[in-house]
């Protein structure tokens, strides 16, 4: 039985979008929980943050694999880096790399906060998840620009 390559490419794109939605939505969720008033929710925020970190790194791996798959599927037809589209793609890839590299300190902060007092760490976590959410928003904007550009 032969598999239609177009169907495979569509599936890869859907998995890519689902992984992005998981990573972005999780960051928004943790950030939203962290800005709720009341210190009684700090433990809940930390619990969600710990779970999110596992999801984030899994999603990051899926995004890397499916992103490479997308580039391979369309590689011959992609515009070069000297075009507006190519420049936007390079900006998106640079933003993704920056997000992944800067996510390691966030993950370490979550691990450290779970071992110490949550009261002092909640503000730092709030700021880290705000930055993560903003970074995902920028990457999503680049992705939309690429899709429609």
pLDDT (0 to 100) of residue 21 = 95
pLDDT at 89 over 90: no
pLDDT (0 to 100) of residue 112 = 80
pLDDT (0 to 100) of residue 103 = 93
Count the alpha carbons within 13 Å of 15 in the hemisphere toward its beta carbon. Answer: 19
* Sequence-ordered list of residues with C-beta below 8 angstroms from that of 124, at least 6 positions apart, any chain: 109, 113
Q: Where are the domains of the chain?
A: 5-148
Backbone φ and ψ for 35, nearest 5 degrees, come out as -95, 0
pLDDT (0 to 100) of residue 135 = 92
Q: Whole-model pTM above 0.75?
A: yes
Q: What is the mean pLDDT of residues 50-57?
A: 95
27 pLDDT band, cuts 50/70/90, is very high
pLDDT (0 to 100) of residue 83 = 82
pLDDT tens-digit readout, 123-132: 788 888 899 9
pLDDT at 39 over 60: no
């Amino acid at each position: 039985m032969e598999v239609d390559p177009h169907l495979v490419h569509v599936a890869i794109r859907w998995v890519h979008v689902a992984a992005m939605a998981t990573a972005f939505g999780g960051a928004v969720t943790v950030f939203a929980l962290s800005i709720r008033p009341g210190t009684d929710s700090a433990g809940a925020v930390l619990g969600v943050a710990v779970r999110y970190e596992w999801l984030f790194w899994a999603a990051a791996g899926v995004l890397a694999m499916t992103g490479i798959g997308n580039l391979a599927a369309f590689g011959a037809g992609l515009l070069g880096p000297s075009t507006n589209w190519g420049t936007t793609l390079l900006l998106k890839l640079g933003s993704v790399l920056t997000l992944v590299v800067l996510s390691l300190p966030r993950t370490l902060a979550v691990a450290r906060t779970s071992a110490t007092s949550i009261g002092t760490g909640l503000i730092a976590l709030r700021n880290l998840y705000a930055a993560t959410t903003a970074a995902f928003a920028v990457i999503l904007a680049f992705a939309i620009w690429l899709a429609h550009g």
